Structure 1
């Protein structure tokens, strides 16, 4: 695999949305299992629509800095970074890798690229959010491998 990272372009929107929904399907399945159907249904009544909207907004609204990873001209992943207004902190807000390309260093490449870009932009504290559920285990491994430190947090839900 020869991964190249470049800024997102308008032509990338459909491939980025498609790979994101495929990549996050196991994550939402994990959420459903952990949360149970009643809570999951209330928290994520239509996760595909909300994720599509979030990815489209990141790629088009200009609030995030977005790059795609390509292999042989095919988009195989993307990352979106948002900087705090003062520029000293930044966050990887979204990152997804096509399921057919997972386990081939695409996520690591995108994480390292985003981290380096933030550092060069003057950011002194970078963060990445991910879940503690089984569906997010590959993401946690990638972030830890690239030097991020996890802060265990717990979020509770209850259907009322």
Structure 2
């Protein structure tokens, strides 16, 4: 995020180009319509040139330290006392996608993971997804088994 340039925002295709992101890899990530509106509002107010989020001096991108400070301030202004980091946002993004039944391979690409096992680490917290899975055993049960179950209740 620190190194995003104005040219990285592709509003026609609703994508953000991330250069040398996590793992020093380039990738495309989704640009939500609501985020695009927020970015447009920000641009109209701040009128950044070059870097989407300039640092000090403005010819440099925002540093990770400046970003962490801004995140901490925003968290405090929002009244959020729960411990959270910028990585918590990444983790929450992956978890919400899993809980919305997004294919784990799509999440892998969005997060820029080379190995599916890295993305799979996020699945342990997607309890709603696990809870909603119907066991194949249920499809194998015979109709009379269902009748027996009802009589036992």
The TM-score with structure 1 as length reference comes to 0.30
**Larger Rg, first or second structure (1 or 2):** 2
**TM, length-normalised to structure 2:** 0.31
User: Which structure is higher in helix share?
Assistant: 2
Q: Which has the higher contact order (CA 8 A, sep 6+)?
A: 1
